[in-house]
Amino acid sequence: MAALPGLIGLPAVGPPTEPAAAAAAEVIALLTALFVILVAAKAGEEIFRRLGQPAVVGERAGGFIVGPHALSLVQLNDTLTVFAEIGVVILLFQVGLEVRVDDLIRVGRPAVATAVIAMILPIVAGVGVGFALGTEAGTAAFLGLALAATSIGITSRVLADLGVLDRAFARVVLGAAVIDDVLALVAIGIVSAFATGTPLEQALVVAVAAVGIVGLGFFAARRLRGLRREAFTWPLFADTPLVPAFLIMLGLALVTAGVGLAALVGAFIAGLIVAETEARDELEHEIKPLALIFTPFFFAVTGAELDLGALLDPSIAILAVTLTLLGVVTKAIGGIVGAWSLGRWGALTVGFGMVPRGEVGIVVATLGLTAGLLDGGTFGAVLVAVVATTLIAPYLLAWSIPRATRERLGRKGGPGSVR
Amino acid sequence: MAALPGLIGLPAVGPPTEPAAAAAAEVIALLTALFVILVAAKAGEEIFRRLGQPAVVGERAGGFIVGPHALSLVQLNDTLTVFAEIGVVILLFQVGLEVRVDDLIRVGRPAVATAVIAMILPIVAGVGVGFALGTEAGTAAFLGLALAATSIGITSRVLADLGVLDRAFARVVLGAAVIDDVLALVAIGIVSAFATGTPLEQALVVAVAAVGIVGLGFFAARRLRGLRREAFTWPLFADTPLVPAFLIMLGLALVTAGVGLAALVGAFIAGLIVAETEARDELEHEIKPLALIFTPFFFAVTGAELDLGALLDPSIAILAVTLTLLGVVTKAIGGIVGAWSLGRWGALTVGFGMVPRGEVGIVVATLGLTAGLLDGGTFGAVLVAVVATTLIAPYLLAWSIPRATRERLGRKGGPGSVR
Reported pTM: 0.87
Residues spanned by the domain of A156: 29-72+79-305+313-405
| pLDDT beyond 50 at A416 | no
Report the distance separating Cα A253 and Cα A217, nearest Å. Answer: 12
Count of helices and strands (H, E) across chain A? 18, 0
B148 at interface of A, judged by CB pairs closer than 8 A: no
The answer to whether residues B42 and B99 belong to one domain is no
* Number of structural domains chain A divides into: 1
Backbone angles phi, psi at A150, to 5 degrees: -90, 150
Instruction: Enumerate the residues of chain A whose CB falls inside 8 A of the CB of residue B20.
Output: 362-363, 366
Tens of pLDDT, residues B36-94:
999 999 999 999 999 988 898 899 999 999 999 999 999 999 999 999 999 999 999 99
Closest CA to B378 of B184, B124, B131, B130: B130
Report the distance separating Cα A172 and Cα A341, nearest Å. Answer: 11
| pLDDT beyond 70 at B16 | no
Task: Decide: residue A250, CB within 10 A, 0-12 exposed, 13-18 middle, 19+ buried.
Answer: buried
The answer to whether residues B49 and B93 belong to one domain is no
Does B95 reside within a domain?
Answer: yes
B48 at interface of A, judged by CB pairs closer than 8 A: no
A291 at interface of B, judged by CB pairs closer than 8 A: no
Tens of pLDDT, residues B174-211:
999 999 888 888 887 777 777 667 777 877 888 888 89
Q: Is B264 helix (H, G, I), strand (E, B) or coil?
A: helix
pLDDT of residue A13: 40
The answer to whether residues B175 and B201 belong to one domain is yes
Dihedral sign for Cα B84, B89, B92, B94, please: negative
Closest CA to A351 of A111, A83, A21, A55: A111
Tens of pLDDT, residues B257-276:
888 888 888 999 999 999 99
The answer to whether residues B59 and B98 belong to one domain is no
User: What CATH number has the domain bearing residue A277?
Assistant: 1.20.1530.20
Beta bridge partners of B150: B357
Q: Binning pLDDT at 50, 70 and 90, where does residue A21 land? A: low
pLDDT of residue B418: 35
A268 at interface of B, judged by CB pairs closer than 8 A: no
Tens of pLDDT, residues A301-350:
988 988 777 778 888 899 999 999 999 999 999 999 999 999 999 999 99
- CB A246, CB A279: distance < 8 Å: no
Largest pairwise CA distance in chain B: 75
Report the distance separating Cα B381 and Cα B372, nearest Å. Answer: 16
Task: Decide: residue A99, CB within 10 A, 0-12 exposed, 13-18 middle, 19+ buried.
Answer: buried
Kindly state the percentage of chain B with pLDDT values over 70.
91
- A259 or B282: whose pLDDT is higher? B282
- B187 or A414: whose pLDDT is higher? B187
> CA Rg, chain B, in Å?
22
Dihedral sign for Cα A294, B65, A257, A220, please: negative
- ipTM tops the 0.90 cut: no
| pLDDT beyond 80 at B252 | yes
pLDDT of residue A77: 92
The answer to whether residues B223 and B332 belong to one domain is yes
Does B14 reside within a domain?
Answer: no
The answer to whether residues B54 and B161 belong to one domain is no
B8 at interface of A, judged by CB pairs closer than 8 A: yes
- A364 or A240: whose pLDDT is higher? A240
pLDDT mean over B295-312: 86
* Chain B residue with the nearest C-alpha to that of A42: B237
The answer to whether residues B268 and B147 belong to one domain is yes
Q: List helix spans (H) across A239-375.
A: 242-259, 263-275, 280-304, 314-338, 344-353, 359-370
Tens of pLDDT, residues A38-92:
999 999 999 999 998 889 889 999 999 999 989 999 999 999 999 999 999 999 9
Instruction: Enumerate the residues of chain A whose CB falls inside 8 A of the CB of residue B85.
Output: 4, 7-8, 27, 31
The torsion of the CA quartet B163, B167, B170, B176, rounded to 10 degrees, works out to 160
The answer to whether residues B56 and B143 belong to one domain is no
Instruction: Enumerate the residues of chain A whose CB falls inside 8 A of the CB of residue B307.
Output: 12-14
Tens of pLDDT, residues B99-156:
889 988 999 999 999 999 999 999 999 889 988 888 888 888 888 888 988 888 899 9
What rounded mean pLDDT belongs to chain A?
A: 87
B26 at interface of A, judged by CB pairs closer than 8 A: yes
Dihedral sign for Cα A108, A405, A59, B255, please: negative
- CB B240, CB A292: distance < 8 Å: yes
pLDDT of residue B416: 37
**Is A8–B359 a contact, with Cβ atoms under 8 angstroms apart?**
yes
Burial A359-390 (b: 16+ CB within 10 A, else e): bbbbbbbbbbbebebbeeebbbbbbbbbbbbb
